[in-house]
Structure 1
Amino acid sequence: MTHAQIMRALSGLLLGLFCAILSSTVVTNALPRIIGDLGGGQSAYTWVVTSSLLAVTASTPLWGKLADLFSKKILVQSALVIFVLGSVVAGFAQNPATLITARVIQGLGGGGLSALGQVVLAAMISPRERGRYSGYLGAVFAVATVGGPLLGGVITDISWLGWRWCLFVGVPFAVVALIVLQRTLNLPVVKRRVKVDWAGAFFVTAAVCTLLIWVTFADNKYDWLSWQTYTLVGVSLLLTLAFLLVESKASEPIIPLRLFRNPTVALASVASLFVGIALFAGTVFFSQYFQVARGESPTMSGVMTIPLIGGLFVSSTVSGRIITRTGKWKGWLLTGGILLTAGLALLGSLRYDTPYLQIAGYMALIGLGVGMTLQNLVLCTQNQVSPTDLGAASSAVTFFRSLGGAVGVSVLGSVLTTRIGHHALETITRLDPQDRAAAAQASGGGQLPDPALLSAPVRTWLESAYGHGIGDIFLYVAPAALIAFLVTLFIKEVPLRGPSRTP
């Protein structure tokens, strides 16, 4: 296939990926207002993000395995339909529970689009050329990520639209993607009579759900060391053991355990787990920081994250093209790990009055690091497995990244509540007696506060607590990025297979 033929075949896939990412990120800067309007608190805010990540995590291995067995084209289209259904339900949600349920549906479709994008790419293109086209996936990821928050902020701030249209905006893109996919994506279908590993899918989903329930409510509903913790962790371990037992005996396991005998697959999966923690947990609270700690509008909150996405866009496209030209990828992984760790550690000094240019520089470092890391962990894995295992191997790496993100967001969401409360209590004595009552009311009730409704002293007190608390989160997540970097040191670089024919 020529470059033009490949791009035509990938056009619908890239549009579908754009749709999924846009619909996920478009709510980022609207979330504080969405949760406020629906009467939710910090726990609901965290679960709106976590529920989608959970569904992506649980469904990614299943989508990847199905891609090895059935028509990849039909699977991509099915994922798009599921994603649209979730978007429509979310748009009409009247309470946090309905919204969280709809986000699960969105996550099921999003898991398919995330996993299948890499699988389809691998089915058409040799590993050597794949670096370049992975860069295109990274570029689409970056454009949708920067466009989503900006678009969502504008929609939220327009009175005659409102935040519900943030959840509907991806529907027309999905319809166009379905039509384009039907016309342009034509891959050979390998039909085999198989038995889908539904038992494996059930046990891995149950194990992850139990784990997330534990980390979400720990230190809130019960102590970290309590009978509830012992029970939930014990059940999660038993379910994990059951999953491993089922996978060892299944004829078509959802995650073939033999893949992890390959050191590259095993190490890339571990690195992806910690990159997921750093990426999702380290960035999901930016909208809260800019809107609650700095009092910015949803639109400006999106504008202020441009350095993060700009760094991601530049590094993913540039690294992809250079990797295709040289066949070497490890240096990019190591550099990305260093930049990601440095950016997160520096953001640990974040406060409500930190100069924006300083924050922008730190965000750019994170973006550069993520762009050099995410796609290349999948790329080095695909280079080490047979064509029949491309789907399972690609989705395994994506699975661990999503798992890390889901667990990280849940844990740090709980930690954030504790840290904000700690800093708020530490500084409330600085307020005048008449302001303390208003401060206690603003921080009570379990709902996200609206700084615009508070007096100047109380607002400054609240912004300081949130800014310091979110800074703590970045500091806590930096070691996860450092562990990912240390793991990548042990991945042996094998030059990418196939010819390079970059025009």
Structure 2
Amino acid sequence: MTSSTSNLGHAHSRTSTTPESVTETLQVPESPNEKQAGAEVPKGIQAVKKGRDFWLSFLAMIVSIFLSALDLTSVGTALPTIADALNDTEGNYVWVGSAYALSSTAIMPLSGSLSDAFGRKPVMLVSIALFALGSALAGAAQDMNMMIGARTVQGLGGGGIINLVEILISDLVALSERGTYQGMIGLTWSFASAIAPPIGGALSDRGRKAWRWLFYLNLPLTGMAFILVLFFLNVRTPPGTVKEKLNKVDWFGNLIVICGTTLAIIGLTWGGIRYEWTNKHVLAPLIIGFALLVAFGWYEVKVPVRPTVPSDLLTNRTTLSAILMTAMHGITSISILYYLPVFFQSAFGASPIRSAVDFLPSALIIAPFALSSGFIVAITGKYRPVNWVGWALTMIGFGCFSLLKADTSTGKWVGYQLIVSAGSGLVFSAPVFPLLAPQPISRTAAALALFAFTRAFTQTWGITIGSTILQNKLKMNLPASYLATFPAGHEIAYAAIPGIPKLAEPLRTEVMVAFAESMKVVWQTMVGISGAGFLFSLLMQEVEMVGVVDETFALQARPEKETQNNPRDAEKAVPPVES
């Protein structure tokens, strides 16, 4: 590695010198406001040796991200059962998923800011505790209002966990060797997301009360993660008084983005389901929400000394490419998890547990390919080919999905799943590398917070796009006499699916064919979005990945026995990079 890269913590520029890499120089490790305020640039140091504390801390992160991903996607399959058990007669079940998505997305920028000010460990512990509290309340919910409130609390914890795990990995492992560990995180998230529908389906088929274990099973695992983080995550904490740390947080900027995100997601959740898209109850939150997000962008550039989203994250073409790819992947990946089980239950007439079995090809492929993408980047030192191949496979796979019919053979729909899941798995972790490679280490937490926020926010878009298309196409394709049996304002798909196996012929076949034809448009839309992801991947350049971590938040090495009597030697456990 060249000296200019090694001394990243001390320099204001970096040049990649590998033959295949372009030359890319960063002149902005600090924002103009930070320079004006005399902000200190963190030093880059070599990460400590990966001993017991590292691996136990990493295990805690694996368990935490597994739980957060599992809870985000397992509830979808169980929604009809939960709505029935809690006597939901007003169609509020949609908020069981949306409340979690809303709160987890809105909290991500703030959790990143708080971790920069107060340290990673306290924020991680609070996030795990909130997730556990929300899980307990959701499992004990007696009505839909209590369930929605519990899922909101759970989402606050889940969003913090997702964000902090990404940030902690960057604190513990240098980007140049992070491929393996990023792949393990991707493997865990993808595996949890893939097995979530089968778990949700299995518990749904066990009766009106079994679904509560979707939430209760979180408690022992969150307890284990909390204990591991408390005792073994021995990371450094930024110095300063509480008042000084509070002043480091961009409170007003975070307030703007939380309000904007909340209103936008409310509009997206209601649009086309509870109200028409032209209804004031949809337009008002959507317009105000997106106006606030635009205002947030202007404010971040102009006002705060330490912005939540530094402007140079969006002016570097490689980092911007990663953010745009993440947005497209958020939309396409959630559509696989949410709408493939819907297709199986509607077009094939499968039960929840049978649809979970039919989903196994995706469950068995997404996770290994997410892991392999990290290994490939770690071995080759290049991230562009993995992203390109991943997007190409995703696009081809969705194109194959658009050929699915109610009578498609097993071999075809299994093969189609393998293609799209392989592509989605490859792209899951790969954008992290172009996201961070061009940026100084002082930008890591802000970049990863934006990365997590973008993925979570666009997953909400993915759910909304799919449900809107499906709802509108079903109104066109289903028999009018059958449509008249459903109350106006309800989402037809979830209301219709449980009753399909009980329909008499030929109505049953007509309904199944209508669902298959309606889902075709969802898959075709995902082909276009995957194509946009591929085009965005062409923007990125190959930039050398640094081999240092941020001194401010690095894992501290425990003094070895032979150095305990010599403080000067003990200090050498984490040697700084020389200037």
2:450 — aligned with what?
A: 396
Q: Which amino acid aligns with 1:366?
A: V
Correspondence for 1:118 among 166, 177, 190? 166
Q: Does 1:238 align with 2:286?
A: no
Change (3 A) 1:284 1:440: closer
- For 1:37-436, what aligned pairs fall within 5 Å after superposition? 37-40=85-88, 44=92, 46-159=94-207, 162-192=210-240, 193-194=244-245, 195=247, 196-220=249-273, 223-224=276-277, 231-247=284-300, 248-425=302-479, 436=481
Does residue 448 (structure 1) correspond to residue 459 (structure 2)? The answer is: no
Question: Does the 8 A contact of 1:347 with 1:362 survive in 2?
Answer: yes
Once the two structures are overlaid, the 10-residue window that deviates more, 130-139 or 291-300, is 291-300
Offset of residue 308 of structure 1: 1.4
TM normalised by structure 2 equals 0.78
Aligned CA RMSD, in angstroms, stands at 2.6
**Residue type matched to 2:124 in 1?**
V
Counterpart Cα distance in 2 of 1:123 and 1:141: 19
Shift in Å, 1:391: 0.9
Alpha-carbon spacing, 1:479–1:282, altered in 2? closer, same or farther (3 Å): farther
Query: Rg larger in 1 or in 2?
Result: 2
| Aligned 8 A contact 1:275 1:401 in 2 | yes
CA contact (8 A) 1:31 1:45 kept: yes
Q: Distance in 1 between matches of 2:518 and 2:410?
A: 17
> Is contact 2:56-2:228 (8 Å) kept?
no
More helix by share: 1
SS in 2 for 1:284: helix
Q: 1:296 to 1:62 in 2, by over 3 A?
A: same
- 1:478-497 alignment runs, 5 A limit: 478-497=527-546
CA contact (8 A) 1:36 1:448 kept: no
Question: In 2 relative to 1, CA 71–495 (structure 1 residues): closer, same or farther, beyond 3 Å?
Answer: same
Following TM superposition, by how much is the alpha carbon of 1:440 offset from its aligned partner in structure 2, in angstroms? 4.5
What is the aligned partner in structure 2 of residue 433 from structure 1? none
- The answer as to whether partners of 2:198 and 2:353 remain within 8 angstroms in 1 is yes
Cα gap change, 1:185 to 1:149, in 2 (>3 Å)? same
CA deviations 1:212-269 (Å, max 9, x no partner) are 3333333456554566666445423432243234323112222222322222222211
CA distance in 2, matches of 1:44, 1:228: 15
Q: Report which stretch shifted further, 115-124 or 291-300.
A: 291-300
Once residues 510 and 63 of structure 2 are traced to their aligned partners in structure 1, the CA distance between those partners, rounded to angstroms, is: 44
Structure 2 portions without partners, runs of 5+: 1-47, 549-579
C-alpha displacement at 1:135, in angstroms? 0.9
The count of residues paired between Structure 1 and Structure 2 equals 488
Q: Is the 8 A contact 2:183 2:373 kept in 1?
A: yes
- My pick for the range that moved more, 328-337 or 86-95, is 86-95
Residue 3 (structure 2) aligns with: none
144-153 or 111-120, which moves further after superposition?
144-153
CA displacement 1:267-326 (0-9 Å, x = unmatched): 211221121111113431223222333232322222221211222122122221221122
Distance 1:38 1:115 in 2: 32
Tell me the secondary structure at the aligned position of residue 430 of structure 2.
helix
Judge conservation of contact 1:42–1:448 (CA < 8 Å) in 2.
no
* TM-score after normalising by structure 1: 0.89
Distance in structure 1 (CA, Å) of the matches to 2:181 and 2:96: 32
What is the distance in 2 between the residues matched to 1:226 and 1:443? Answer: 20
1:253 aligned partner, one-letter code: P
Deviates more, 1:273-282 or 1:122-131: 273-282
Q: Deviations over 1:428-449 (max 9, x none)?
A: 6xxxxxxx5xx35654463713
- Which digits, 9 at most, give the CA deviation of each residue in 1:12-62, with x for residues without a partner? 111111222223333232223223444558964544333322222211111
Shift of 1:490: 0.8
- The 1:349/1:96 distance shift into structure 2, 3 A limit, reads farther
Relative to structure 2, which stretch is displaced further, 156-165 or 249-258?
Answer: 156-165
**Equivalent position of 1:459 in the other structure:** 508
Q: Which runs of 5+ in 1 are unaligned?
A: 429-435
Q: Please tell me whether the aligned partners of residues 46 and 409 of structure 1 are also in contact (alpha carbons under 8 angstroms).
A: no
2:15 match: none
- Structure 2 CA distance for aligned equivalents of residues 97 and 472 of structure 1: 34
SS at the partner of 2:261?
A: helix
Q: Percent of aligned pairs with the same residue?
A: 25
Q: 1:230 to 1:179 in 2, by over 3 A?
A: closer
